[in-house]
Structure formats: structure tokens, C-alpha cells
Amino acid sequence: MNYEVLIPVIRRLAIEAGDKIMEIYNGDDFEVKVKSDDSPVTAADEAADAIISAGLRAEFPDVMLVTEEQSESHIANGDTFLIVDPLDGTKEFIHRRGDFTVNIAYVEKGVPQRGVVYAPARDRMFFTQSDGQSVEEIGDFDITKVGETKAIHVAQADNDALMIVASKSHRDQATDDYINKYAVKDSKSAGSSLKFCLVATGEADIYPRVGRTMEWDTAAGHAVLLGAGGQVVRFDDHTPLTYGKEDFANPFFIAFAPTVELKEA
């Protein structure tokens, strides 16, 4: 994959999808349907998926494409692919809470190498540059050119006063039990893949996920965090979280700054 070509394309498609999502978000009430796995889906999910899928297939016809909205037709047959969650945080979208994102990533040999996370209702965009460094873009997002960016990096963690971020919609007792193993200065909740980005920018030190996620939920945020010096490991044995699993389902995991002294599960 030529990253010099890839990055402008996925950034542009994320903005185009985000514009369509916000058009629906700011409009009248929208229909909410239920998928076979009981998760919600809206017209915004489907419209964003159509924009991104068409764009990626036009630009990279020979690269395997995995998207959440077409997942029932996907068969994992490799460890190198483009992977998309066109609207991560559908529940946040439905309740108009703003913490939803557009996620596009490129996975190579099981590792998310490059990605973009765009939160259109929060006016925040994070992506990996072609050289692998993650940045946050600031200001108006123009599809024709990149605006001002600042390099992001994980924090130097103070293990006596950690900043923790956890899921807004899926926080449970198991998550709290694990968080309680640490000396916590502050704990915040966030929706969607923004949690990875808060660790990547140093706004949080650790994000434990004790709950079900799919690879399209995490790949773009994972790529951004790797490009900011962070890590994502399995919850059970602290080995790296990898991609290309047969059912695209993730084990529980921990995203963190490497200076965090991880506790056992």
C-alpha cells in the first residue's frame, strides 16, 4: 500500500461521510432499525457506508474491504485489508449525544498501520500521516487539503494518579472492578473510538474494554494510538491485539500509554 495515496483518500472519505451523517443528525427524526445482532442501525450508518465503500473500491479495487454494514457477507480470508465503521457509536448518534465517529483503517499483517477517526459533531479529527505519526487536525475540515495539524503523543503516566477513560454506553461492574486496581486521579466516559484518541493525545492514560467489540470498532483508533506511541493488548495475557480473526470479534483489551504499569486481569 502506498500510504502517500491512502491517507488523503481516507481523510477525504471520512469528511464526506461525516457531512452526510451530520445532515441526518441535524434533520428531523430518523428511523432506527435493528440488525440481526440486535444492534441499531440508521440511515446515517447506511449512507456513510455507501460513500466510504464506493470511494475505497474505486481507489483500491484490489484490496479486501471489510465494513460493519456489509459484515454478514464478509469472510475473513486474509490479514491485510481496509476496514470501516461508517458510524461508530450509533447509540450516541440516536440519543444525539455527539460522541460518534467515522472510522477507516488499513490493516497489514494483522496490525492497523494507518487510520482516521473523525468525530463530526465534536469537530475533532485524528489520523496517521503517511510516515506513521499520528496528528490531530485543527479548524475547518476541507476535503481538498489538510489544514493545520499538531502531532499527538501519549502522556508520561503518573501511576499514582492515572487518568482513565471508559465506555459511555457499555460501562459495567467488571470494568469498574478492573479500574479499581489502579490509583486513579480522574475517570471520564466517552463514546465510540474517541476513547483511543483521548489516550493518544494524553488526555487519558488507559482505556480498558471489558466487553464485546468488533474489529471495525477498534482498528482506526488502534492505528491512531500506535502512531502516538501507545499500545493495545489483550486483556487476558497482555499480548498485542491483532486483526483478521475469522469472525472479526475482538477479545477484551486494554489501550494504554506504555508508561502505565498494567495490572493483571
Residue 261 lies in a domain: no
Do 208 and 87 lie in one domain? The reply is: no
In whole angstroms, what is the distance from residue 62 CA to residue 80 CA?
11
pLDDT tens track for 44-64: 889 999 999 999 999 999 999
With beta carbons less than 8 A apart as the criterion, state whether 255 and 228 touch: no
89 is in an annotated binding site: yes
| Segment 60-79 mean pLDDT | 79
Do 144 and 179 lie in one domain? The reply is: no
* pLDDT value of residue 151: 97
Do 118 and 237 lie in one domain? The reply is: no
The CATH number assigned to the domain holding 72 equals: 3.30.540.10
With helix as H, strand as E and coil as C, how does the chain read?
CCHHHHHHHHHHHHHHHHHHHHHHHCCCCCCEEECCCCCEEEHHHHHHHHHHHHHHHHHCCCCCEEEHHHHHHCCCCCCCEEEEEEEECHHHHHCCCCCCEEEEEEEECCEEEEEEEEECCCCEEEEECCCCCEEEEECCCECCECCEEEECCCCCCCCCCEEEEEECCCCCHHHHHHHCCCCEEEEEEECCCHHHHHHHCCCCCEEEECCCEEHHHHHHHHHHHHCCCCEEEECCCCCECCCCCCCCEECCEEEECCCCCCCCC
Do 207 and 243 lie in one domain? The reply is: yes
Percent share of the chain, pLDDT over 70: 91
pLDDT tens track for 159-204: 999 999 987 666 778 888 999 999 999 988 888 899 999 999 999 9
End residue of a domain, out of 117, 151, 185: 151
Q: How many domains does the chain have?
A: 2
226 is in an annotated binding site: no
Do 241 and 177 lie in one domain? The reply is: yes
* pLDDT value of residue 244: 92
Nearest to 217 by CA among 87, 81, 111, 41: 87
Residue 78 lies in a domain: yes
* pLDDT value of residue 189: 84
Residue 263 lies in a domain: no
| Segment 117-136 mean pLDDT | 97
Please report which confidence band the pLDDT of residue 36 belongs to, taking 50, 70 and 90 as the band edges. Answer: low
The pair phi, psi for residue 249, each rounded to 5°, is: -90, 135
Please report which confidence band the pLDDT of residue 96 belongs to, taking 50, 70 and 90 as the band edges. Answer: confident
Do 132 and 8 lie in one domain? The reply is: yes
Do 236 and 189 lie in one domain? The reply is: yes
Residue 79 lies in a domain: yes
* pLDDT value of residue 247: 86
Residue 189 pairs in a beta bridge with: 166
Do 104 and 9 lie in one domain? The reply is: yes
- Per the structure, the complete domain to which residue 243 belongs is given by 162-256
Residue 30 lies in a domain: yes
End residue of a domain, out of 89, 123, 151: 151
The pair phi, psi for residue 226, each rounded to 5°, is: -60, -40
* pLDDT value of residue 221: 98
87 is in an annotated binding site: yes
Do 241 and 120 lie in one domain? The reply is: no
Do 171 and 131 lie in one domain? The reply is: no
Do 49 and 130 lie in one domain? The reply is: yes
Residue 77 has pLDDT above 80, yes or no: no
Do 226 and 133 lie in one domain? The reply is: no
* pLDDT value of residue 191: 80
Please report which confidence band the pLDDT of residue 73 belongs to, taking 50, 70 and 90 as the band edges. Answer: low
Residue 264 lies in a domain: no
